Amino acid sequence: MAMNIARKELENFKQLLLKKNVNMEFYEEVVKYIAEKGTSKEFGAREIIRVINSELKPVLVDEILFGRLSNGGRCKIHFTNGKFQLGDNL
């Protein structure tokens, strides 16, 4: 269930990025990490959005504002060595 919620929230984020002409794709390990980190017995899956906002969005913000995605483009997000990384443009 948490995987489905994480995937849905990532798709929502992807739709927001499309308004900036950025097409984001993501590997399954991204969904898995967000689902695991954003789920707890106490709060359920409520923390999934916080994980996206605090860990994933910062990876993209600088690239969208000042970097290779400033004019739009395509990217693929992966999760390696304990952090999100922006792959080469597709």
Is residue 89 over pLDDT 70? no
CATH number of the structural domain spanning residue 24 = 1.10.8.60
Residue pLDDT, tens place only, 19-74: 999 999 999 999 999 999 999 989 888 899 999 999 999 999 989 999 999 999 99
What was the pLDDT predicted at 43? 85
Tokens of 2: 């948490």
Q: What total number of domains does the chain contain?
A: 1
Where in the sequence is the domain holding 14, given as residue range(s)?
Answer: 2-86
DSSP state letter for 87: P
**Rg of the chain (C-alpha set):** 13
Contacts of 51 (CB under 8 A, 6+ apart): 34, 37, 38
Torsion of CA 51, 37, 16, 74, to 10 degrees: 110
Average pLDDT over residues 78-88: 91
What 3-state DSSP class applies to 70? Answer: strand
